[in-house]
Structure 1
């Protein structure tokens, strides 16, 4: 087993020429103290770059000053069906989602005919993409979505895969991104033979590539203690705590007034509610069962939304029970939903909706969208709950997972919006805790409707939906 390790040498030249970079890739046996089989990498003769202190004690890093710097080296063995790729990166500044944020793509690394790793930055998301090449299904790709990444701090990515066993996951500063490995399908590749590294506004250091899966405990060997778990806040891993209304209007007590209640057990309980998409609604003694009549693998269509007819105030507490009855799917709640310019969601001037995601993410209604269950077919459970701000699909915050992907229990969901604070709890435990940010996202939704939202593979039983107005005594 061989590791590809980056070494950097620098030779000073005239001031007008910058530096001549002699960048070498060495095939260095793991745990070996010596170097062997050294070969010259492909690189421009003259580039402008900085040598920085790296993330590990005594290590160094490289960052281009102006234009991108690519360098590459041939691998002594092809990498394909099984492998591990590790790299340290450090963005030059903090990046986050928000209105008016720039759009860029930062290429980081690639193995020809196998994969590429980059960061796609836009106003609505920061997307670390690990994409398989050579015709492999896009369903195999991994997208690590974040609302913010820190500047001038080191991030360690370790991607591990074994197509034979269906293993695919990523560890970020030692923390697994997926709760369970993605169900990786056969890779349509004969194997990559060249490693390419790029640096532009993102510094790189300590790149390693292996032809086998490196276990989690061994990955930790390459991460010093002070860096372990340093990205957890950005990944939405918040401290576990019980939900409480106290403190969200300062030190004063909160009055909770019931303004809407429906047991969701009979047709009369949802009179005036509106379904969008191919929704099937059935009633049981213990609740309403909602599912889509379409369950194919076209991700664009077949999803459903079920709107409560009432408009609710900006400060509210909503409660309902949810039990997932399907093997796969995703549950979200829409809230504070209104047509743009203050119109009702069902105003005649608002565009007609059919349940497609684009109807809500890029349509003419504004709302918050919050996921609390996800176990997608052909993929894996997300490691986080997503809070998005629409229209625009801005990723505002991440939280810890909600309903477990294999749970068949009835769960109590609690959603609160009060004094600029948004919380969602499952069975009394907070999974999302977010402070609204008008400076970052512009004008925010105020009063509006609430809806249950499901992706097409989901079958869920709901019951006992209640909404309270929150105000100071």
Structure 2
């Protein structure tokens, strides 16, 4: 039987008082939803990007739901999940190297995680043909992908319901109830099956986007 184990409307600063920001970002709530924007110039490259972690360590089998609204592009939106130190410790353990939002620290550092990039409007080819990508780390393993149904960013963009379902080694991804991809990890090809861990929002400069109604359900 499924059970909601975490809910956060993401509608005020108080809602993210215990969240952990890696890198620098401008976080505001102008319309009752969390708006994320880079604080450093995009000319800084990877240093301008950031990750905002929910500090809760979740079990292995979960459904993660949130709402997303892209306001300005280019850029990229990503969700980390099942994130844990490679030795099994918390991603916030003091024995791990400091992370500052630069991508390599997350896919080839000292943590394991899945991450799904679901709004990719950064490179010229990404802007011509849009895909949602699932990668598994440690390592930079692109394990599956599917077409991205979300339209380009706009100040008048609607809200989109995003869902990740992780049950043992199987990961299924949905946008607006539409299944985008499914990946069944064999626990060998790309390393051991990932169990529980933290979730985090990652965004690439100079994108501006809003998020609300984060919910995690234990399956």
TM-score, L = length of structure 2:
0.93
CA distance in 1, matches of 2:77, 2:16: 19
CA distance in 2, matches of 1:256, 1:332: 25
User: What are structure 2's unaligned runs of at least 5 residues?
Assistant: none
Quote the offset at 1:355 in angstroms: 0.2
Quote the offset at 1:379 in angstroms: 5.2
The one-character-per-residue Cα deviations of 1:299-353 (angstroms, maximum 9, x if unpaired) are: 3321110000101111001111110111211111000000111100000101100
Q: Which residue of 2 aligns with 1:427?
A: 176
For these two proteins, the number of residue pairs brought into alignment is 216
User: What are structure 1's unaligned runs of at least 5 residues?
Assistant: 1-254
CA distance in 2, matches of 1:321, 1:257: 19
CA distance in 2, matches of 1:280, 1:406: 18
Summarize the alignment of residues 45-194 of structure 1 with structure 2, pairs less than 5 Å apart: none
Q: Which residue of 2 aligns with 1:348?
A: 94
2:154 is the counterpart of 1:404 = no
Quote the offset at 1:391 in angstroms: 1.6
TM-score, L = length of structure 1:
0.44
Q: Contact 1:290 / 1:461 at 8 angstroms: preserved in 2?
A: yes
CA distance in 2, matches of 1:256, 1:270: 25
Q: Which residue of 1 aligns with 2:186?
A: 437
Quote the offset at 1:401 in angstroms: 1.2
Summarize the alignment of residues 382-397 of structure 1 with structure 2, pairs less than 5 Å apart: 382-397=129-144
2:122 is the counterpart of 1:373 = no
- Where in structure 1 do 4 or more consecutive aligned residues deviate above 3 Å? 377-380
CA distance in 1, matches of 2:142, 2:100: 23
Quote the offset at 1:421 in angstroms: 1.6
CA distance in 2, matches of 1:465, 1:369: 16
1:278 to 6, 14, 24: 24
Q: Contact 1:372 / 1:402 at 8 angstroms: preserved in 2?
A: no
CA distance in 2, matches of 1:428, 1:322: 14
2:199 is the counterpart of 1:450 = yes
Distance 1:406 1:324, change over 3 A: closer
Distance 1:403 1:277, change over 3 A: same
The DSSP-based 3-state class of the residue aligned with 2:97 is coil
Q: Contact 1:374 / 1:405 at 8 angstroms: preserved in 2?
A: no
Q: Contact 2:169 / 2:187 at 8 angstroms: preserved in 1?
A: no
Q: Which residue of 1 aligns with 2:216?
A: 467
The one-character-per-residue Cα deviations of 1:99-148 (angstroms, maximum 9, x if unpaired) are: xxxxxxxxxxxxxxxxxxxxxxxxxxxxxxxxxxxxxxxxxxxxxxxxxx
CA distance in 2, matches of 1:337, 1:402: 26
The DSSP-based 3-state class of the residue aligned with 2:29 is strand
CA distance in 2, matches of 1:298, 1:352: 19
2:10 is the counterpart of 1:287 = no
Quote the offset at 1:378 in angstroms: 5.2
Q: Which residue of 2 aligns with 1:415?
A: 164
